[in-house]
Structure 1
Amino acid sequence: FTLKMTAITQYKNQECVGGNISLLMQAFRKKFIIPEFAEFAEKINKIYKTVKNQDEGKVANYIPQLAKFSPELWGVSLCTVDGQRHSVGDTKQPFCLQSCVKPLQYAIAVHELGTENVHRYVGMEPSGVKFNMLSLDDDDKPHNPMVNAGAIVISSLIKVKHFMNFVKRIAGQEFVGFSNATFQSEKETGDRNFAIGYYMKEKKCFPPGVEMIDALDFYFQLCSMEVTCESGSVLAATLANGGICPITDERVLSAEAVRNTLTLMHSCGMYDFSGQMAFHVGLPAKSGVSGAILLVIPNVMGMMCWSPPLDRVGNSVRGIHFCQELVSLFNFHNYDDLRHFVKKQDPRKQTGDDNIGSMFQLMFAAHNGDLSALRRFSLFSMDMDQKDYDSRTALHVAAAEGTHSLFECRQRLEQQIDAEDPQKLSTVERQL
């Protein structure tokens, strides 16, 4: 019996490994986008605990179903472009997407119809007014797809029947539900959205043949779709991965649709806080009045933060604080990679990568006799004593190559002059 079970186990192991050898090789070699993932997850947990102490904000009450959530709920999930997952807090509790559905419906519309066709009916500029204002741009179009007017028009462009399945594909077939109670509440309390709809009907904002009431009804349905933090993080990760779901490896959205969506999330995604979010956090994000924040770190990961208490503009207090703490610790801000910028932690690099890179640059400059590069390294406090795999310093390399002019730098590197290489020759002896 034992032998039989062992044989089956070995066969199953071979079957599993055979189809996933590339994935396993990445894991064993620490070649995932976050190589030290356990360490990174611990830092996420610390940020989560710090932010949990925030007790400001109020739960949205203008939609009765939203008012029922406890202000103590707080969850964060992340999914990297390689499918690495981490969750902390209330991450299995379903909640409505609300305005977090707007980037998804826009991405699907562009994927199916193309950028030009979609933007015949909606603009791409920040509105400068509240998200639910009766306001159009100079061409009598909604300012962008991230405000209510724009999302209602986008609802008239996409197919109702397959939208739920499309979102499930973006979420890697993980949980995507629907709250009928929220849908009914939206319809009963949606006077402002009805006013926006009729205003746009008067201005002929909808495509020919579209019934405004049908588009509005579909918009209410979209806002009532449910996810958890865990499934929501996969939605964000698919956007971070250029439209390919990291869980199923399926190309769900076109690269064009994702690029456009992230651009608009970055400039218009956070209500009246969009400018500050772009300034302080520097990442594409979309918030909803359910307390959700969909955060995308392009080419790295997607995150879903959820906490019902909102600030005065309708963003999750804990969610905003989490995003700010995340970027203060890690170099995820869009402009953190600028030269001479204060260095933050980069979880994309394996421990020791920086040292290896700096040593390679130093030795390469010494090999080529590049004095300007060596002076620059010295000014930036690089360790000029570091040794390569053969225990040689930069001066040993320069001496071996016969780069006489390098000895002009000897005062800066005087501590190396008498160092011996593995052949027991000092740098001076080798040069001679």
Structure 2
Amino acid sequence: QGASNAEKFDYVMNFMNKLAGNEYVGFSNATFQSERESGDRNFAIGYYLKEKKCFPEGTDMTSILDFYFQLCSIEVTCESASVMAATLANGGFCPITGERVLSPEAVRNTLSLMHSCGMYDFSGQFAFHVISFHARLGEQNLLDPETGSLFLLQDLVSLCNFHNYDNLRHFAKKLDPRREGGDQRVKSVINLLFAAYTGDVSALRRFALSSMDMEQRDYDSRTALHVAAAEGHAEVVRFLLEACKVNPVPKDRWGNTPMDEAVHFGHHDVVTILRDYHTQYSPQDAAATAAADSQSAEKNLDGLL
């Protein structure tokens, strides 16, 4: 109470960024203008509440509605929305940053509301058949059977044990999406090396926090550190060495190390970083890493087979 709309909006955006682990959170001005122009019912409700003296003294009702329309216009990507969902599923701790964003009570109350009324009038049927929800989808009838999207979600639930009350261990007729096969391990290597190639530290941080093996190798025995060094991504190299504690001197099938790659392509800043870690790395660590590399190679071979 007493803060300007700008201060309130900044507060909410900061909170949303924490919820999304600093992934993309933006604002759609087109949506804001549309909400404001079509908000007759909201204005009617606002004036009714004002008549009944529901607002604190001195409240500017139209300003409050503008702020509400702004909140309705916050936009996210599938990736940032998934981190928000993961934060709720993780008891309020963001899995990307490890920061507590919500209290356990807030998580419980939020999930209860999403389950009971997140799809408005369609919430009960949706909870029974799909248990997947989003208020805007229900409001805009995007899950009408004619669009096919509702059938798609129902098919997913019939195929995999996604329903809240499907037994994850003893529902033999459904697929368990948690199980990882050889194909999944191959995809894991591809995703890891591609993130290193593009310099995507955020993706690498997610992989590390999900307990991915950050030293796994491709067919040519190249690691993410090889790729990052070859591309000159100093921040990726530093993250892999400092945060993930990867071996700084792995050799690919041609005997090249990340240092060799950095020297070959003239990335002097990467060479400096790697040289510092070369002096800190002990032969005993290398021996232990070699054994781990052997096991990793076997896993990768299993995946390819």
* TM-score, normalised relative to structure 2: 0.50
1:248-296 deviation per Cα after TM superposition (whole angstroms, max 9, x unaligned): 121111111111000111010012210111111235x22315x89xxxx
Instruction: Please say if 1:180 is aligned against 2:29.
Output: yes
Distance in 2 (CA, whole Å) between partners of 1:274 and 1:220 is 23
Match of 2:41?
Answer: 192
Matches within 5 A, 1:61-100: none
Residues 193-228 of structure 1: per-residue CA shift (max 9 Å, x gap): 211222232344445553322221111001111111
Match of 2:142 among 296, 310, 321: 310
The answer on whether the counterparts of 1:310 and 1:317 sit within 8 Å (CA) in structure 2 is yes
Residue ranges of structure 2 left out of the alignment (5+ in a row): 182-305
Could you tell me the percent identity over the aligned residues? Answer: 67
Partner of 2:135: 287
Q: 2 CA distance for matches of 1:337 and 1:347? A: 13
Q: For residues 108-257 of structure 1, what are the structure 2 equivalents within 5 Å?
A: 159-207=8-56, 209-257=58-106
Q: Which runs of 5+ in 1 are unaligned?
A: 1-155, 293-307, 352-432
Other-structure match for 1:347: 177
* C-alpha displacement of 1:342: 6.4
3-state SS of paired residue (2:91): coil
Counterpart of 2:114 (choices 265, 270, 284) is 265
Residue 159 of structure 2: aligned partner: 329
8 Å CA contact 1:310–1:316 kept in 2: the answer is no
User: Does the residue aligned with 2:134 lie in a helix, a strand or coil?
Assistant: strand
For residues 20 and 153 of structure 2, what CA distance do their matches in structure 1 show? Answer: 22
1:334, CA displacement in angstroms?
Answer: 1.5
How many residues end up aligned between the 2 structures? 176
Cα distance in structure 1, aligned partners of 2:64 and 2:49? 12
Matched residue, 1:275: 124
- Cα separation, 2, equivalents of 1:321 and 1:206: 43
TM-superposed deviation, 1:318: 5.1
Cα displacement string for residues 81-123 of structure 1 (whole angstroms, at most 9, x for unaligned residues)? xxxxxxxxxxxxxxxxxxxxxxxxxxxxxxxxxxxxxxxxxxx
Indicate conservation of the 8 Å contact 1:309/1:316, yes or no. no
160 and 252 in structure 1: CA distance in 2 versus 1, 3 angstrom threshold: same
Aligned-pair CA distance for 1:239? 1.2
CA distance 1:328–1:172, shift in 2 (3 Å): same
| Preserved contact between residue 266 and residue 274 of structure 1 (Cα < 8 Å) | yes
**Post-superposition shift, 1:328?**
1.2
- The one-letter code sitting in structure 2 at the alignment partner of 1:337 is N
- CA drift of 1:166 comes to 0.8
| CA positional deviation for 1:161 | 3.3
- More helix per residue: 1 or 2? 2
Change (3 A) 1:321 1:168: farther
CA contact (8 A) 2:17 2:23 kept: yes
**Cα offset, 1:179, TM superposition:** 1.6
After TM superposition, the score normalised by the length of structure 1 is 0.36
> Counterpart amino acid of 2:131?
G
Name the one with the larger strand percent: 1
RMSD between superposed Cα atoms in Å? 3.2
Q: What is the match of residue 272 of structure 2? A: none
* Structure index of larger Rg: 1
SS at match of 1:226: strand
Contact 2:161 2:168 in 1 (8 A): no
Inter-partner Cα distance in structure 2 for 1:260 and 1:347: 27
Partners in 2 of 1:328 and 1:344 — Cα distance? 7
Q: Secondary structure at the match of 1:174?
A: coil
Name the SS of the counterpart of 2:9 in structure 1. Answer: coil
Alpha-carbon spacing, 1:240–1:320, altered in 2? closer, same or farther (3 Å):
farther
- Judged with a 3 Å threshold, the aligned counterparts in structure 2 of structure 1 residues 317 and 345 are, in CA distance, closer, same or farther, namely same
- Please tell me the residue identity of whatever aligns with 2:26: G
**Distance in 1 of aligned mates of 2:170 and 2:17:** 43
Distance 1:344 1:165, change over 3 A: same
- Give per-residue Cα distances to partners, 1:14-67, cap 9 Å, x unaligned: xxxxxxxxxxxxxxxxxxxxxxxxxxxxxxxxxxxxxxxxxxxxxxxxxxxxxx
Deviation at 1:185, TM superposition (A): 2.2
> Whose RCO is larger (CA < 8 A, sep 6+)?
1
Superposition deviation, residue 190 in structure 1: 1.5
CA contact (8 A) 1:269 1:286 kept: yes
- Distance between the aligned counterparts of 1:201 and 1:220, measured in 2? 18
Aligned to 2:30, what secondary structure does the other structure show? helix
Contact 2:32 2:73 survives alignment (8 Å): yes
Match for 1:257: what amino acid?
A
